[in-house]
Amino acid sequence: MLDAGLAGRTVLITGSAQGLGAALVRAFHAEGAYVAALERDDVANRALAAGLDPGGKRIRTVHADLRDLAATEEAYRTVRAWRPVDVLVNNAARPSAASLWEITPEEWDEVFAVNLRAVFFLTRAVAGDMRERGHGRIVNMASIAGQTPRPTGAAYGTSKAGTIALSRVFAAELAGDGITVNTVAPAMIDTPMVRSVAPEALAGLTAQVPLGRIATPQEVARVAVFLASEETFVTGATYDVNGGALMR
């Protein structure tokens, strides 16, 4: 079993309350890390934290709406006052299935505000502090939608392609400072959102996966833990967690 060396480290996870975000919180908490769980759904976020860490010793919930840069920066200041961040996981995302012909300017801007703009500015803020300490791990959650063209989800796919490109820029910039930056690109994950898809449609999508099923949130979270581990010689990489749906 991988010893990630994360005990006592502090991990900031965005979009922490449900689905993959909740799995990430559980995975890093299980490694002995302190977790700053950043989320705009306070009720779900606090419920998750209370279930995992009743005494509130190693999980701190923080409210922020990533569409609001000022609020996001204030949330990071709150986290930094608690503990210096060793690992940043940019997980929060605004889904969108609108096609090229359906997407509105308002929806396009909102998707990019959460999925790319917030990733850039939060990463820049956290990385600035990491550089002073000469150490850090940054993991950005992208998607297979950012790697293959699809007629729907124009804004979502483009934002996730941007996440992959942005991660490489940060990786090149920060490599000399002891900071690694990597991306995880899942396909479908077994979350409440995916399970809300009509059964016949879900079956059709699952049939396109060579391994014959969709990923569990825990499987994706474990890849993030590996990329955040102390002993890693990986940076600027994109890890595909898609059951063979895209082979490169």
User: Could you write out the three-class secondary structure of 201-225?
Assistant: HHHHHHCCCCCCCCECHHHHHHHHH
* H/E stretch holding 98: none
Among 34, 76, 156, 239, the active-site one is 156
Residues in the chain: 248
What share of residues in the chain are helix, strand, coil (percent, to 5)? Answer: 45, 15, 35
Please answer whether residues 138 and 181 qualify as being in contact, where contact means their C-beta atoms are separated by less than 8 angstroms: yes
Please answer whether residues 202 and 185 qualify as being in contact, where contact means their C-beta atoms are separated by less than 8 angstroms: no
Residue 76 among the catalytic residues: no
Gap between the Cα atoms of 187 and 210, Å rounded: 12
Phi-psi region of 104 (alpha: psi -120 to 50; beta: other; left: phi over 0): beta
Contacts for 200 with CB less than 8 Å, ≥ 6 apart? none
Gap between the Cα atoms of 162 and 35, Å rounded: 26
Which residue's structure tokens are 């922020």?
Answer: 64
| Active-site amino acid positions | 156
